[in-house]
C-alpha cells in the first residue's frame, strides 16, 4: 500500500493534469477565452461619401464596396465561364439599388494612379462596359464631398443619365411606327449633336454628368423640331 503522502501527490498531479488538459483542449476549443477587436470597414472619407449618397438617394438603398459578382449575373455570352471570371475581378466603391434591390447606379471614387496607370485605366473601361450592358450607369465621384454638388442637383443629373434596363428577348415587343421614328431621330441626334465631351462608351465623370442636362435639353428641342417637320411632310 502506498504511503499517504505519495497518494496525495499523485492525486494533486492528476488534478493538475486535468486542469491543464481542460484549458489546453476543451476550453480553447469552445472559444470562451477569445476576445475580438472591431476593424475599420470604411475609411472616414468613405463614411462621409456614403452619408452624402444616402442624402442624394434618401428613398433608395446605398451600399459600399460591392463586388460585381454580387450585383450582376451573365445574361448572354459565348463563354459563360470567362464572363463570370470577369465579374470576379471587379468591384465598385458604392452602388445604389432600386426598390427590388437591383443596382441602378455604381460609383467609384476618383483616384490618380501614379503606377501602372495604363493597365488600371483599361480595367476601368472593362468594368464600365460590363455595367453598361446591365443597364447600370457607372460614375466617378470626386474624392471629397466638399467637391461634390448639392445632393438634389446631383440626383437630378443622375436621373438624366440613368440607363435603360436590358429586356429579356421574349418580353420585347414591336415598336409602333412613331416609336421607331423617334428612336431613329434620337440616334441621329447623338451623331450630329455631341454637345458634351462625354461619349457613351466612356466612364462618366462629374463634369460630364453635370453638363448633361443642358446638352440633352438642346438635343431634345432639336429632336422635337425634326419630329414636327417629319409629321408635317407626312
Q: In terms of C-beta distances under 8 Å and separation of at least 24 residues, what long-range contacts does 46-52 make, across chains too?
A: 46/93, 46/109, 48/145, 49/93, 49/94, 49/109, 49/141, 49/145, 50/94, 51/145, 52/145, 52/148, 52/151
Q: Report the DSSP beta bridge partners of residue 103.
A: 97
Q: Are 182 and 134 in contact (CB under 8 A)?
A: no
Window from 27-36, 66-75, 190-199, 210-219 with minimum mean pLDDT: 190-199
Q: What pLDDT, on a 0 to 100 scale, did the predictor assign at position 179?
A: 47
Query: Taking 50 as the threshold, does the pLDDT of residue 125 lie above it?
Result: yes
Q: What pLDDT, on a 0 to 100 scale, did the predictor assign at position 58?
A: 96
Contacts of 36 (CB under 8 A, 6+ apart): none
CA atoms within 13 A on the CB side of 182: 9
**Grid cell in block for residue 37:** 477587436
172 compared with 75, residue with greater pLDDT: 75
pLDDT digits (tens, 9 = 90+) for 166-213: 875 543 444 445 445 444 444 444 443 344 444 555 677 777 777 665
pLDDT digits (tens, 9 = 90+) for 163-173: 888 875 543 44
Window from 49-53, 83-87, 98-102, 180-184 with minimum mean pLDDT: 180-184
Q: E strands along 110-151, which residues?
A: 137-141
Spatial separation of the C-alpha atoms in residues 199 and 147, rounded to whole Å: 23
Q: What pLDDT, on a 0 to 100 scale, did the predictor assign at position 119?
A: 85
Q: In what order do the strands lie in the sheet with 91-97?
A: 61-67, 91-97, 103-109, 137-141
Q: What pLDDT, on a 0 to 100 scale, did the predictor assign at position 118?
A: 83
Query: Taking 90 as the threshold, does the pLDDT of residue 95 lie above it?
Result: yes
Spatial separation of the C-alpha atoms in residues 59 and 99, rounded to whole Å: 9
Average pLDDT over residues 138-163: 92
Amino acid at each position: 500500500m502506498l504511503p499517504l503522502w505519495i497518494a496525495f501527490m499523485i492525486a494533486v498531479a492528476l488534478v493538475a493534469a486535468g486542469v491543464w488538459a481542460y484549458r489546453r483542449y476543451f476550453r480553447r476549443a469552445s472559444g470562451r477565452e477569445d476576445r475580438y477587436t472591431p476593424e475599420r470597414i470604411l475609411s472616414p472619407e468613405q463614411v462621409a461619401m456614403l452619408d452624402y449618397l444616402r442624402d442624394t438617394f434618401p428613398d433608395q438603398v446605398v451600399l459600399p464596396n460591392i463586388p460585381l459578382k454580387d450585383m450582376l449575373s451573365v445574361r448572354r455570352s459565348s463563354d459563360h465561364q470567362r464572363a463570370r471570371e470577369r465579374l470576379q475581378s471587379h468591384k465598385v466603391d458604392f452602388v445604389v439599388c432600386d426598390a427590388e434591390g437591383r443596382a441602378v447606379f455604381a460609383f467609384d471614387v476618383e483616384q490618380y494612379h501614379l503606377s501602372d496607370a495604363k493597365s488600371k485605366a483599361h480595367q476601368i473601361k472593362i468594368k464600365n462596359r460590363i455595367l453598361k450592358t446591365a443597364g447600370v450607369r457607372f460614375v466617378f465621384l470626386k474624392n471629397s464631398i466638399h467637391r461634390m454638388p448639392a445632393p438634389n442637383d446631383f440626383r437630378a443629373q443622375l436621373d438624366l443619365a440613368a440607363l435603360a434596363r436590358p429586356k429579356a428577348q421574349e418580353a420585347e415587343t414591336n415598336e409602333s411606327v412613331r416609336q421607331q421614328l423617334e428612336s431613329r431621330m434620337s440616334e441621329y441626334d447623338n451623331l450630329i449633336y455631341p454637345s458634351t465631351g462625354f461619349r457613351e462608351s466612356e466612364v462618366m465623370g462629374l463634369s460630364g454628368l453635370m453638363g448633361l442636362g443642358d446638352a440633352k435639353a438642346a438635343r431634345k428641342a432639336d429632336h422635337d423640331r425634326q419630329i414636327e417637320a417629319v409629321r408635317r411632310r407626312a
